[in-house]
Amino acid sequence: MQQSDTQTGSLAGHTRTRDATRGHTRARSLRHDLAWRGQVALMLLPLLAGITLLIFLPALLGLPLAFTAYNSLDPPRFTGLQNFRDLWNDRVFHLSLRNTLGFIVVAVPLRLAGALAIALLLLRRMRGVGGMRAAVVLPTVVPDVAWALAWLWIFNPLYGPLNILLRTVGIDGPAWMLDETGARVAIILMLSWQLGEGFVICLGALSGIPSAVLDHARLDGAGRWATFRDITLPMIAPYLLILAMRDILFSLHANFVPAKILGQDGGPNNATTYLPMWIYTNAFGYLRLGYAAAMTWVTFIVSFAVMLVMYRILSRRFGAWAQ
């Protein structure tokens, strides 16, 4: 009996020790997780502060102006929903909205596909790969105005290098910025070369895929396309979703400089009049700041709706990772 009690006490002591060890491990894991989250929050703090001060706060302060008639010279005069009713009847606003949505539908998938394709090509270690990666990032750091002026020369229908190159292969190049369709295509082409940020994120996502997973797929007989479709693409899909959301927001304002310089204030025939261009024209050209504020908030709503649709489409395609 005494030996049985001794064994029981020893077992209970061992159980208490094991429970205490598990509790200590969980507490240490929790402290480590909290410390990691604190470091991430600290690193994101400057970005969040800048977004709050430069985007969210001005947007909130501009919301009351959307319900007023304000020209920056006289005090704002409350007009209720009149600005939004004027938007409903504004032909140029509807045209700029169609131009913006069309630009997003074409440019965002093109930029994502381009960034991913180049990242796949330059993923392997080879001679000169560092210089090639730097060349992909370089157009992104060029100032927007300088980039637009360079492409204004490239798209010149008479002595621009693009049309000269097309003529050497027997193709009569378009007039580009003198033609409505050509102008839209030109701006998409111009911005499709600025892939640096998306390229870096795609390269990091591809580098993070465990090589053992890809090796097992090859041992099982999976080809390159099957491996990319069933393993690589689902594993990097969260990064592609982030890039898609970022590019939608980028597309809502990045086309302002090309429309201003290449399109000469949104031409020809308002073919390159995007929402930022029309907001700028009303605010600083016509001094209709209340009307421009209403248009800005409509732009926010449209961008949120587009991102929600994109999220739904991608989450249905790739399943639980987006939940």
The tens digit of pLDDT for each residue in 142-187 reads 888 888 888 889 988 888 898 899 888 888 888 888 888 888 888 8
Q: What is the pLDDT of residue 116?
A: 92
User: Before 268, cis peptide (omega within 30)?
Assistant: yes
Residue 125's Cα: distance from chain center in Å? 28
Q: Give me the amino acid identity at 253.
A: H
Instruction: Read off the DSSP letter of residue 193.
Output: T
DSSP 117-181: HHHHHT-S--TTHHHHHHHHHHHHHS-HHHHHHHHHHHT-TTT-HHHHHHHHTT-----GGGSHH
CA distance 161 to 154: 5
Collapse the DSSP code of 90 into the 3-class scheme (helix H, G, I; strand E, B; otherwise coil) and give the result: coil
Q: Give me the amino acid identity at 245.
A: M
pLDDT over 80 at 75, yes or no: yes
The tens digit of pLDDT for each residue in 114-149 reads 999 999 998 888 888 888 888 888 888 888 888 888
pLDDT over 60 at 18, yes or no: no
pLDDT over 60 at 10, yes or no: no
CB 318 within 8 A of CB 229: no
Backbone angles phi, psi at 78, to 5 degrees: -65, 130
Q: Long-range CB contacts (< 8 A, 24+ apart) of 292-295? A: 293/62, 293/63, 293/65, 293/66, 293/70, 293/83, 294/66, 294/67, 294/83, 294/84, 294/87, 295/87, 295/93
The tens digit of pLDDT for each residue in 291-317 reads 999 998 888 888 888 778 877 776 666
Mean pLDDT of the chain: 81
Q: What is the pLDDT of residue 323?
A: 46
Q: How many CB atoms lie within 10 A of CB 254?
A: 19
Lowest mean pLDDT among 22-26, 196-200, 253-257: 22-26
Q: How sure is the predictor about 39, in pLDDT bands with cuts at 50, 70 and 90?
A: confident
On whether the pTM is more than 0.75, the answer is yes
Nearest to 193 by CA among 150, 137, 240, 143: 137
Report residue 188 as tokens.
């998409």
